[in-house]
């Protein structure tokens, strides 16, 4: 009988130990999830607070072959910083939730900005009037996740494009 009581007592102690270990692991997992959620919320808050130097000018939606496309025009006359510009494109890309193509065009000055005469997908073609003032041109295709930024030393008319993938 003493052996049964001893075995029963040891079993109870082992079960109690196992239960407390699993409870503390569950609490650690919950704390980790709460911390991760707080970090994610904090990152979202920071993204909302990001300030970019580009001046928003106009936005236009176009439907072509059952595809909705959007183009946003911005102006910026300062020196282009590739890191800031790339982050700006990522930020705008994340906001584009419906449609197929998204285009972002940065002009040198507000007075020189305008939409292309062609459909957005054909860009500005050989429209010298606009090309001489385009400093950066971002294209995003939601269907295949094509996401490229072309930026220019002078402008799209006089300089070769330098291209960066935006992920």
Tokens 């407390």 sit on residue = 20
- Domain carrying residue 38: 1-49
Spatial strand order in the sheet of 134-141: 55-64, 67-75, 101-107, 134-141, 146-151, 162-165
Average pLDDT over residues 75-104: 95
pLDDT for 11: 60
The number of folded domains in the chain is 2
Same domain, 36 and 94: no
pLDDT for 78: 94
What stretch of H or E contains 74?
Answer: strand 67-75
Same domain, 77 and 132: yes
Same domain, 44 and 66: no
Same domain, 103 and 39: no
What is the model's pTM? Answer: 0.69
Same domain, 102 and 131: yes
- Let me know: does 29 contact 21? Beta carbons within 8 Å: no
Average pLDDT over residues 35-39: 40
Q: Which of 49, 72, 89 is the last residue of a domain?
A: 49
- Let me know: does 103 contact 141? Beta carbons within 8 Å: no
Same domain, 45 and 111: no
């Amino acid at each position: 009988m003493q052996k049964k009581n001893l075995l029963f007592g040891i079993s109870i102690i082992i079960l109690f130990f196992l239960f407390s270990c699993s409870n503390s692991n569950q609490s650690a997992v919950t704390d980790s999830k709460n911390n991760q959620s707080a970090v994610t919320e904090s990152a979202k808050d920071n993204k909302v607070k990001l300030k970019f130097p580009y001046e928003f000018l106009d936005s236009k939606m176009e439907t072509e072959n059952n595809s909705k496309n959007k183009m946003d025009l911005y102006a910026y006359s300062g020196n282009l910083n590739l890191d800031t510009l790339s982050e700006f494109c990522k930020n705008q890309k994340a906001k584009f939730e419906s449609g197929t193509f998204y285009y972002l065009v940065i002009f040198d000055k507000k007075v020189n900005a305008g939409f292309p005469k062609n459909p957005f997908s054909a860009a500005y073609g050989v429209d010298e009037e606009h090309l001489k003032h385009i400093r950066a041109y971002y294209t995003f295709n939601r269907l295949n996740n094509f996401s490229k930024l072309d930026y220019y030393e002078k402008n799209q008319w006089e300089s070769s494009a330098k291209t960066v993938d935006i992920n």
